[in-house]
Every structure is written in structure tokens, then in C-alpha cells.
């Protein structure tokens, strides 16, 4: 979504009147469906958090681009955390052994090492 916003902004800033016209029209439609944080589909947000590439850090990066009010951004991130916790608790009740194993798992931190060529 950030890429789409960036590309639409490039079109609007273009010197080509056709691109400006198309970009402006597309941006209005995009904003209608995606601009308001409170209107974003919660399932989409959970999918982003569960994606190992993004996690909650992506929401912290992405939400401020959609909303000026930083207090609203933190509230929305907290809402997503609550939903994830509720989902975990729901499924933990179904399989307590798996939930216990999941709570005890820690991922080793992989430190990047840069080797310099001689």
C-alpha cells in the first residue's frame, strides 16, 4: 500500500498532464477505501503482522503515513495487539499443549557479521 501511495504521488507530481489527471483520479478512489485507519479491514492488518517480513514494525511505519494524529496510530496498533491476543487465547483453549510450547519458544538472535575481503 505504501508503494501504491508513493507511485500515485509521483504521478500527481509529474509534468505530464495526463499522468496528473489519472493519478489524481486514482488517488481519490484509493483514499476513499484506504485512507482512514478506522476503516481498514482488521483481517488485512492481522495478515500483515503475521507475515514474518513485516510484523508490528510495519504497522508502526505504515500507519503514520495514513493518519496525522499519532495518538490514533498508537490506539490502532494497540487494537491490533488486542485482537491478536484474543485470537491466541481462543486457539490456546483448543490446544493447551501447543499454546504452552508456543509461549516457551524463543528465537535465537542472528547477528550479522561482515567479513572484509583482503
Give per-residue pLDDT as tens, 12-33.
Answer: 999 999 999 999 999 898 877 7
In sequence order, which residues have a C-beta less than 8 Å from that of residue 2 and are 6 or more positions away? 61, 62, 65
pLDDT tens-digit series, residues 79-111: 888 998 888 888 888 888 877 777 666 444 444
Angle at the Cα of 53 (from 49 to 30), degrees rounded to 5? 65
Of 2-6, 9-13, 90-94, 113-117, give the lowest mean pLDDT range: 113-117
Q: Where do the domains of the chain lie?
A: 53-99
Is the entire prediction scored with pTM above 0.75? Answer: no
List alpha helices for the chain, DSSP H.
2-13, 17-34, 42-50, 55-66, 70-94, 96-104
d(CA 99, CA 92): 5
The confidence score (pLDDT) of residue 110 equals 42
**Mean pLDDT value of segment 49-72:** 78
pLDDT on residue 113: 47
Query: How many CB atoms within 10 Å of residue 73?
Result: 19
Q: Residue 20 corresponds to which cell in the numbers above? A: 496528473
Q: How far is it, in rounded angstroms, from Cα 51 to Cα 93? A: 23
Question: What pLDDT was estimated at residue 108?
Answer: 46
**Is the pLDDT at 63 greater than 80, yes or no?**
no
With 80 as the cut, is the pLDDT of residue 72 above it? no
How far is the C-alpha of 96 from the C-alpha of 104, rounded, in Å? 12
Amino acid at each position: 500500500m505504501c508503494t501504491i501511495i508513493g507511485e500515485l504521488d509521483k504521478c500527481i507530481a509529474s509534468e505530464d498532464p495526463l499522468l496528473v489527471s489519472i493519478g489524481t483520479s486514482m488517488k481519490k478512489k484509493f483514499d476513499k477505501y484506504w485512507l482512514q485507519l478506522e476503516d481498514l479491514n482488521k483481517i488485512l492488518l492481522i495478515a500483515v503482522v503475521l507475515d514474518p517480513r513485516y510484523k508490528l514494525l510495519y504497522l508502526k511505519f505504515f500507519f503514520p503515513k495514513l493518519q496525522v494524529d499519532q495518538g490514533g496510530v498508537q490506539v490502532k496498533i494497540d487494537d491490533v495487539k488486542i485482537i491478536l491476543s484474543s485470537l491466541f487465547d481462543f486457539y490456546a483453549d483448543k490446544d493447551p499443549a501447543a499454546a504452552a510450547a508456543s509461549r516457551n519458544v524463543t528465537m535465537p538472535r542472528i547477528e550479522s557479521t561482515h567479513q572484509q575481503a583482503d
